[in-house]
Structure 1
Amino acid sequence: MPKSSALFAVCFVAGLLGALVSSTALWAAGEYGVSSLLGVQLAPNFKQSWLFPQMMIGGLWGLGYFFTVGIPRHRRHWIRKALWFSLLPSAFTLFYLYPYVQHKGLAGFELGMLTPLLIFLSNLVWGFFTGFFTRLFWGR
């Protein structure tokens, strides 16, 4: 398998694992009352029917992350690039998914005024762990 194809697969798997950690953190925020403390009505159930689509979407965003680290001379600062890239899923969720697909208002404000903060932090967790796992699996 060529190296770029291997890195493509690594980015997908890292995105899956990043989404697993991020989804677990989002569930824990709802379970332990952090979401309600912030006034956000976002407390997902930790079930396969919710978790697996989150992981697949995280893997697909991981494929997008590949384009930031796919060129050999750009393969440094893995976590920093993933943190910057995590702004894209945040923007997609806040400005497309919530208003047009789920009808929760622009930036999900119908769920609470601090919904954008919670989504942004959740995607930062995804970005950190996606960059971490990509670097871990890819090695030097």
Structure 2
Amino acid sequence: MHRTKAILSVCFCAGLLGALFNSLVVCLSGNLGLPQLAGVTLAPQWSLAWLYPRLIWGGLWGLAYFITVAGPRARTGWIRKGLWVSLLPTAWQLFYVFPNQTLHGAFGFGLGTFTPLFVFAYNLTWGFFTGFFARLLWGRS
């Protein structure tokens, strides 16, 4: 397989796995009541209908991550780059999804004042695990 196609596949899979771990953290923190302690009503219930779109979106955001590691000389700082790229889905959620596709308003303030902090933290989880799994799946080559 061509190296570019291989790293593209790795980034998609890493983004998908990052979304899986992100989803686990979101549900676990919701079950522990952490968002509720901060006055945020962001605690989804685990279901396949909730999980599958998140996995696909995680893989698609992994393609954005691909841009940062596409070149052979750019394959350093995998986790750091994942954390930086996680700002993209955070911005998308806060500036597009919440105000335009939900009734929660700008930044999701309809869910609570600290909603942007939770979105930011959850997406950092995605970025960390995307970088971790991309490095793990790519190996030593």
Shift, 1:103, TM fit: 2.5
Calculate the TM-score normalised by the size of structure 2: 0.98
**Post-superposition, which runs of at least 4 consecutive aligned residues in structure 1 deviate over 3 A?**
none
**Which residue of structure 2 aligns with residue 130 of structure 1?**
130
Cα distance in structure 1, aligned partners of 2:35 and 2:41 = 7
Of all paired residues, the percent bearing the same amino acid is: 54
**Which residue of structure 2 aligns with residue 105 of structure 1?**
105
**Which residue of structure 1 aligns with residue 75 of structure 2?**
75
**Which residue of structure 2 aligns with residue 27 of structure 1?**
27
The C-alpha deviation readout for 1:69-91, integer Å capped at 9, x for no partner, is: 00111110000011001001000
User: What's the Cα RMSD here?
Assistant: 0.6
Cα distance in structure 1, aligned partners of 2:20 and 2:71 = 26
The C-alpha deviation readout for 1:20-78, integer Å capped at 9, x for no partner, is: 00011001111110010011011101000000101110000001100110011111000
Alignment: residue pair count: 140
Cα distance in structure 2, aligned partners of 1:27 and 1:35 = 10
Q: Which amino acid aligns with 1:65?
A: Y
Calculate the TM-score normalised by the size of structure 1: 0.98
| Gap regions ≥5 residues in structure 2 | none
| Gap regions ≥5 residues in structure 1 | none
